[in-house]
Amino acid sequence: MKSLIRQSIRTGVTFGIVQVFFILIAFNTMVGIMLAKISGIKNPGEIPAPKFLIAYTILMGLWVGISALSKKRSLSVGQKILAGFSASLTSAILVGLLEVGMTAILVNKVFIRDFLTVLSFDFIKATLFGLTPTMGILVTMGAILLGSLIGVGLNIITNLHAVQEHWQKDLGFIKNLSEKFQRTIRGKYHLIWQIVGISILAVAVIFIPMKWGSYWNYVFGTVGLYVILGLGLNIIVGLSGQLVLGYIAFFAIGAYTMALLNAPEPHNLMWGFWPALLLGVALAALSGILLGLPIMRLRGDYLAIVTLGFGEIIRILLKSDVLTNFTGGPRGIQNIHGPSLFGKPFNSEVDFVYLIIAGVILASFVYNRLQQSRTGRAWLAIREDETVARASGVDTIKYKLLALAIGAAFAGLAGGIYASRNQFTGPDEHALMASINVLSLIIVGGMGNIPGTILGAFTLKGLPEILREFANFRLLAFGALLVFMMLSRPEGLIPSHRPKYEKPEEASGVLKKKEVPHDK
């Protein structure tokens, strides 16, 4: 019993510290505003009504109660109530102590915003729900205890035998339904189902961008560009196992090739979009080979540091005053002309969304074909163990260079489209953080597969734009998401699975019996 109480108190201390931190960064008001908008209030203001902040506090208590019992299924009902109450009481005491300090600031009119910008007097009053200090602290602690008891009750109910049995039946029904659906689409009408699915997708791709509007087309266009970047980096990191941190340098090469060859300044060459795009892809691939040649013996952290240096060298060169007459220097290059097809110029976000979708389809097709080929199997062997792959006859240097070249070509493709769409490119757009973003999206989505890359790009580039109203918390959410991924889904939201290769007779469904010669 003492051990159970000690563990519960430690859980309560952890969650109490988390809740104190959330209050100090005004996370409670952000959630309160979101709850107010969900309830139908259009403009709740910077500080929502007290009832929404009370709802937030109950949710925090619910989190404590559920977490305190997450790995304690063998406890009795009384022990579960004791564990949840101990954790929530500890958490409530820590939050109450914070509010005692905030009350002292409010009563003594201490101006502390030079150190903690959110701790305005209005914010402190809102955190106390507009009540007297004593009542505000008591209501806070009571809301945390109430939420925790609700969480304990949910845990008890969901662990009842009848509830679990019913849940297993529902899961079995869903699983059987899914298996029947898969057998149907993989049966003799497989080709028809494929045609229907592709037709529906094609109709959606053609007509939905026309209804989105320029902002949403811009957002999803950005997501599409990062999908292309993610697929390219997945070839290098996810398939061949080379940790590259300067990947955005290839993106910069594609973007600046487009800018220098298709903008009036600084050279007024005006080659047109398509020749500049092809040359940008070729130069990015060539730079990948030139970078790879001297570093083929490096692995792991050493390879990451060298490629990081390559990316920074490219950015500094683009920004330097020495090359201003050639690259535009820190100001970048403006008025980059867009593409035209059959005499029709691409003037709107809708046109560029179609172009980006075509780029995503092309990149996905190439990636899938490579992954299923002999080259893809060689990359997987190098990723698992380069020494064993070399001993097995795999030309590791050739395949690693090929991965760098193809991945860099993908980045050059995305860079050329990006510069043309924005009509501008500059050195600050190709900083280290951009490389980290691309690497993060394939880690979050799942290395080595296309759906994971798409989901990761939407999660890290699409959602922040959709939630731009909560811009102050985007980095917090980004860090929390990465921590969550490392703890619960270390292989990504959609982890990749090693391909299973069948023998020819097994693939055809015919297993030949081995003939045993009879003795004469």
Q: What is the mean predicted confidence (pLDDT) over 272-301?
A: 91
Q: For the residues 144-168, what does the mean pLDDT come to?
A: 83
- Output 163 or 18, whichever has higher pLDDT: 18
Per-residue model confidence (pLDDT) at position 286 = 95
Alpha-helical (H) ranges within 234-348 are 248-261, 273-292, 300-319, 324-327
Least confident segment among 112-116, 194-198, 336-340, 374-378 = 112-116
Q: What is the pLDDT of residue 480?
A: 73
CB 49 within 8 A of CB 128: no
Please report the pLDDT score of residue 519 as a whole number.
47
Task: Check pLDDT > 50 for residue 204.
Answer: yes
Tokens coding 248: 């955005």
Torsion of CA 76, 81, 83, 84, to 10 degrees: 140
What is the DSSP secondary-structure string of 403-427? Answer: HHHHHHHHHHHHHHHHHHHHTEE-G
Q: In 3-state terms, the chain is what percent helix, strand and coil (to 5)?
A: 75, 0, 25
Neighbours of 333 (CB within 10 A): 25
Is it the case that residue 508 has pLDDT exceeding 50? no
Tens-place pLDDT, residues 56-77: 999 999 988 888 887 766 778 8
Q: Which two tokens stand for residue 315?
A: 């950015």
Cβ distance 356 to 221 under 8 Å?
A: yes
**Which sequence spans correspond to the domains of the chain?**
2-159, 167-195, 235-430, 432-463+480-496
Q: Is the pLDDT of residue 120 over 80?
A: yes
pTM of the model: 0.77
- Residue 188 vs residues 53, 164, 193, 449, 511: alpha-carbon distances, Å: 57, 38, 10, 27, 22
* 474 pLDDT tier (thresholds 50, 70, 90): low
What is the C-alpha to C-alpha distance for residues 370 and 375, in angstroms, rounded to an integer? 6
Reference 86, options 159, 154, 15, 19; nearest CA is 15
Instruction: pLDDT band for 199, please (50, 70, 90 cuts).
Output: confident
pLDDT bracket for residue 278 (50, 70, 90):
very high
Whether 142 shows a pLDDT value over 70: the answer reads yes
Q: CA angle, corner 479, sides to 57 and 464, nearest 5?
A: 85
Predicted local distance difference test score (pLDDT) of residue 515: 46
Whether pLDDT at 504 is above 60: no
Looking at every residue in the chain, the average pLDDT score rounds to: 85
**For residues 65 and 75, what is the distance between their CA atoms, to the nearest angstrom?**
14
Average pLDDT (424-450) is 88
Please tell me the predicted confidence (pLDDT) of residue 500: 58
At residue 242, what are phi and psi to the nearest 5 degrees?
-100, 115
Q: Give residue 153's pLDDT.
A: 87
150 pLDDT above the threshold of 70: yes
